[in-house]
Amino acid sequence: MNQNDFADDPEDRLHSPEERARAASTSTWVSVAVNTVLTITQVVVGVLSKSQGLVADGIHSLSDLVADFVVLLAGHHAKKDADEDHPYGHQRFETAASLVLGGLLLAVGVGMLWSAVLKLQSPETVATVHGIALWVAGAALVAKETLFRYMLAVAKRVKSSMLVANAWHARSDAASSLVVGLGIVGNLAGYPILDPIAALIVGFMVGKMGWNFAWDALHDLMDRAADEQEVEAIRQTLLETPGVQSVHDVRTRKMGDMIVVDAHIEVDATISVEAGHEIAVLARQRVLLRHRVLNLMTHVDPWRRPDLDHA
């Protein structure tokens, strides 16, 4: 998951939590349908055709199916309004879901690695696969790559890191299907050992991606700041607010796919407290309108003209 997956597009700021939840639900149900068909087909054909790689890919699809339901559950909770126990809302349910997705991928990857290693220790037990396994692997590759492109487009449109994680999960499946297909080709060409080797590579790919997702989500749960580009954009919005003379100590922390901001703004020391408060309110409104900011806490500091300080 990459911060660059979210371009700074003002139109994306207009999506309400309800719209984001609907988009997440629709794309995830599409993923559920695709992964259900793939899981059943790959496991059944993998067993019948004696392809460990295809079975491993089917188990990966099953992990996707479980992950889809985790996303649906998180999306349901994340859209809840703020309450007394969660004054900033429930957006971090999405981050927690990304952590679960990462842990799930990591566990599946380790299991696939272990199974492949056991098979490689007894190469004489590796059977020649049936040709139908290659057709199923190819169909799975096309289906997963198409699903990835669809889900990533939706994730970018509504700016959901959880959906980005789930989309790249689908891309990992596409990559694994490609590796499995190559392993099956090698097996059919007279090198049976290539099928469990393909399963081994798939296990490593899945585990690595799971680690990356879990690590990123863990940092977000530890109040990681937004990227520098977005922080600078927020700072610029504050500076452009009428009445704001200077801005300093802008601090951010991730709250799901939203951001919580603390900032010190400097206003003319000679104006009234009421006028300073109105400037702070305007600054907050502008930031919330133009950025993915859940809340902005401003501290108003007095500003004096430099020529008056030396008078």
Q: What angle do CA 216, 153, 158 make, to 5 degrees?
A: 70
pLDDT one-digit tens code per residue, 222-277? 878 888 888 999 999 999 999 999 999 999 988 777 788 999 999 998 899 999 99
Q: What angle do CA 95, 298, 228 make, to 5 degrees?
A: 50
pLDDT at 3 over 80: no
User: Which tokens is 255 given?
Assistant: 């709250």
C-alpha 53/C-alpha 202 separation (Å) is: 8
**Tell me, what's the pLDDT at 74?**
66
Tens of pLDDT, residue by residue over 21-60, are: 677 778 878 888 888 998 899 999 988 888 878 888 888 7
**Over 172-187, what HEC string results?**
HHHHHHHHHHHHHHHH
Amino acid 283: pLDDT: 92
Alpha-carbon gap, residue 306 to 260, rounded angstroms? 32
Q: Which domains does the chain have, with CATH numbers?
A: 3-221 (1.20.1510.10), 228-309 (3.30.70.1350)
CA distances from 264 to 170, 229, 309 (A): 42, 19, 21
244-255/258-268 β-pairing = antiparallel
CB atoms closer than 10 angstroms to residue 88: 14
- Which tens digits make up the pLDDT trace of 152-201? 888 888 777 667 777 777 777 787 788 888 888 988 888 888 888 887 88
